[in-house]
């Protein structure tokens, strides 16, 4: 991920899609992408509708930057990218249902198998800390341990990915799961899948991510391309 101009254009596009998809509103949320020895991050308090690629801020991991003032949440973007070398993108938004759960400091349990998209049996909620602080970053790192997404107490959500498309997709999935969980709670606390079942689910998801269909019960019953000679 070294073409800075292409990354900047894509970042602007993804930010606008965050708002148009409904997972973010106004100037809230922010996005960062690993680039060379540092990262690119959205600027502070600039509407996505008027943001241009030139407005994207270049930062180093020591906190120095070039250009406009970076997002107030630059600390957790920096710390996540520094700690999680397998991650290239950090996306933060204030999606409605995820934030609703975060206001109650609720972790999303494995009430639905798709909880596994975040990499574990739960999507944790980080403890509250003031926005823009090192304390918030520290809390987020704890909640994201072995996970690709978390909620931020009384704040919003964070989703990670190797690409911007992956992070945006995951943020939408977290919001969908949050909405389902809020609605399920209206009927009472829903049952949850066992850790053993979630381990099977996550393994199936890993297979799917490599373009392989699940192989239930070892039957080798795989969807496969028809032989060209047939």
Q: Which residues are catalytic?
A: 73
Structure tokens at 99: 């934030």
Helix (H) or strand (E) run with residue 126 in it? strand 125-126
Q: Which residues pair with 92 in a beta bridge?
A: 30, 158
CB 11 within 8 A of CB 56: yes
Give the chain's length. Answer: 230
User: Across the beta sheet with 156-161, what order do the strands follow?
Assistant: 65-66, 57-59, 38-41, 30-35, 89-93, 156-161, 149-152, 125-126
């Amino acid at each position: 991920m070294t073409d800075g101009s292409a990354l900047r254009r894509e970042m602007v596009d993804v930010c606008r899609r965050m708002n148009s998809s409904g997972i973010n509103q106004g100037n809230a949320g922010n996005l960062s992408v690993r680039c060379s020895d540092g990262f690119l991050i959205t600027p502070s308090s600039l509407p996505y509708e008027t943001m241009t690629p030139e407005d994207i801020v270049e930062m180093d991991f020591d906190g120095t930057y070039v250009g406009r003032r970076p997002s107030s949440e630059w600390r957790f973007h920096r710390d996540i990218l520094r700690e999680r070398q397998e991650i290239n993108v950090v996306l933060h938004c204030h999606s409605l249902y995820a934030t609703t759960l975060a206001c109650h400091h609720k972790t999303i349990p494995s009430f639905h198998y798709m909880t596994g998209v975040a990499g574990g049996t739960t999507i944790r909620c980080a403890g509250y800390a003031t926005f823009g602080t090192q304390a918030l970053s520290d809390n987020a790192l704890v909640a994201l341990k072995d996970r690709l997404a978390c909620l931020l107490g009384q704040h919003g959500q964070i989703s990670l990915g190797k690409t911007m498309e992956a992070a945006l997709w995951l943020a939408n999935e977290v919001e969908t799961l949050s909405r389902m969980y809020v609605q399920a709670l209206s009927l009472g606390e829903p049952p949850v899948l066992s850790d053993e079942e979630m381990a099977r689910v996550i393994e199936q998801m890993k297979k799917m991510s490599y373009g392989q269909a699940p192989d239930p019960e070892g039957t080798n019953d795989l969807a496969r391309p028809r032989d060209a000679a047939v």
